[in-house]
Amino acid sequence: MSYVYLYALLGVGLFVLGLNALIVHAHLMRKILAVNVMSTGVFLVLVALSSRNEGILPDPVPHAMVITGIVVSVSATALALILMLKLNRATGKNELPDRSRD
């Protein structure tokens, strides 16, 4: 039981770390990785919370959700990488230009 929550907390921790990296880092590759870390965190939470009671077989629904989530995450990462490459080709940089806040 406590292990379950440990894993879940670990997942939340990954999510927060990823969020922090996404905001703090300027390099696009790091941002994309940060998003991936975030989603891994969420998946970990889902999987961890699926075994609510020890001894009983874990709930299969969260597993299905994680598998779907991984598929989505892969496509999103692919799109992000292709955009990054195009941006690099267009501007020669791997960062988003600084923008005065409105």
Q: Which of 19, 30, 33, 58 binds another protein (CB under 8 A)?
A: 19
Q: Tell me, letter by letter, the H, E, C secondary structure of the chain.
A: CHHHHHHHHHHHHHHHHHHHHHHHCCEHHHHHHHHHHHHHHHHHHHHHHHCCCCCCCCCHHHHHHHHHHHHHHHHHHHHHHHHHHHHHHHHCCCECCCCCCC
Q: Which of residues 22-51 bind another protein (CB under 8 A)?
A: 22, 28, 31, 35, 38-39, 41-42, 45-46, 49
Amino acid of residue 9: L
Q: Which of 6, 24, 70, 79 binds another protein (CB under 8 A)?
A: 79
Q: Closest distance between another protein and the C-beta of residue 39, in Å?
A: 6
Cβ atoms of 102 and 57 closer than 8 Å: no
Q: Closest distance between another protein and the C-beta of residue 64, in Å?
A: 9
- Residue 21 binds another protein (CB under 8 A): no
Residues of this chain that bind another protein (CB under 8 A):
12, 15, 19, 22, 28, 31, 35, 38-39, 41-42, 45-46, 49, 52, 59, 61-62, 65, 68-69, 72, 75-76, 79-80, 83-84, 86-87, 90-91, 96-97, 99, 101-102
